[in-house]
Structure 1
């Protein structure tokens, strides 16, 4: 199984150097301290907040700073293809996405979705909030997939980010029929 950290630089596109979620978060903190609101964002898009695509949209302003940082780091991987055991922009699996995203706040999440399902306090679906982890599988004993809540827009519109085997890193509605069939539980990590 791959570790959450890479030993050296990885290139996502020819000539473009890979930046880890931790590096992205550090650059954003530095930009905030200097008071810049325009410039280069995690997804590589430049301009004002009106110019940003859904790929780089910011979490709502009332979120805890650490939750917002983790969500922003996860969203920076939107579109990265699925790769079992992957933790880089070349390829990412579901638990690797969360492991790498949580590193942006210096938290080492367990590596597998099954281990992550035991990391924190179980939460009822009606009490979900941004940063909570959602787990999928055939039963509580067979957790096979994980995602992280990015937006709670109402009782039937809860968005989560995950690494889909067919579409790569993407956000979906937890209440879509497919995800409701395989939803097992939700957990709030102890860091929030």
Structure 2
């Protein structure tokens, strides 16, 4: 099932303003959900288990799911590492990136964040992410051009 880049980006953009929630987006099916305070290390007290929203991998999971016509659930609801290691994810070079690709932050043994690359807008490379507690899903300039890049096959 090929990825429809426009649908993938539209799905992510439609979630702008949704709260960040640690573990959010990892329910039985892709989509915003209550988060969890298990393994949470952000600001205290943890409010994730009372907040419906997305964490970074939950948002990317949802966007790819809709962009593939609800056919591909990368990482099967797991974290950034399970998404990066999913057999349906092709690792690509930073130089070959294009809109709709996924950028993972960290190293192959320690991935700590993921975002959806949406390409150049007004000359700036942009991405959509669920960044951290207290910051809703937002569109921002690309912070990491040499990250671990991937494309869903």
Question: By the TM > 0.5 criterion, same fold?
Answer: yes
Q: Which runs of 5+ in 2 are unaligned?
A: 26-31, 34-51
Whole-Å Cα distance in 1 between the matches of residues 79 and 59 of structure 2? Answer: 11
Q: Which residue of 1 aligns with 2:29?
A: none
- Deviation for aligned residue 1:102: 2.1
- 1:18-57 matches, within 5 Å, as none
- Deviation for aligned residue 1:168: 2.0
The structure 2 residue matched to 1:157, chosen from 121, 124, 130, is: 124
Q: Which residue of 1 aligns with 2:150?
A: 187
Q: Which residue of 1 aligns with 2:11?
A: 73
TM-score (norm 1): 0.56
Q: Which runs of 5+ in 1 are unaligned?
A: 1-63
Change (3 A) 1:142 1:91: same
State the structure with bigger RCO (CA 8 A, min sep 6), 1 or 2: 2
Query: C-alpha deviations, 1:38-78, integer Å up to 9, x for none?
Result: xxxxxxxxxxxxxxxxxxxxxxxxxx981111110111110
Larger Rg: 1
Deviation beyond 4 Å, 4+ runs, structure 1: none
Deviates further, 162-171 or 128-137: 162-171
The structure 2 residue matched to 1:96, chosen from 53, 58, 62, is: 58
Whole-Å Cα distance in 2 between the matches of residues 129 and 152 of structure 1? Answer: 9
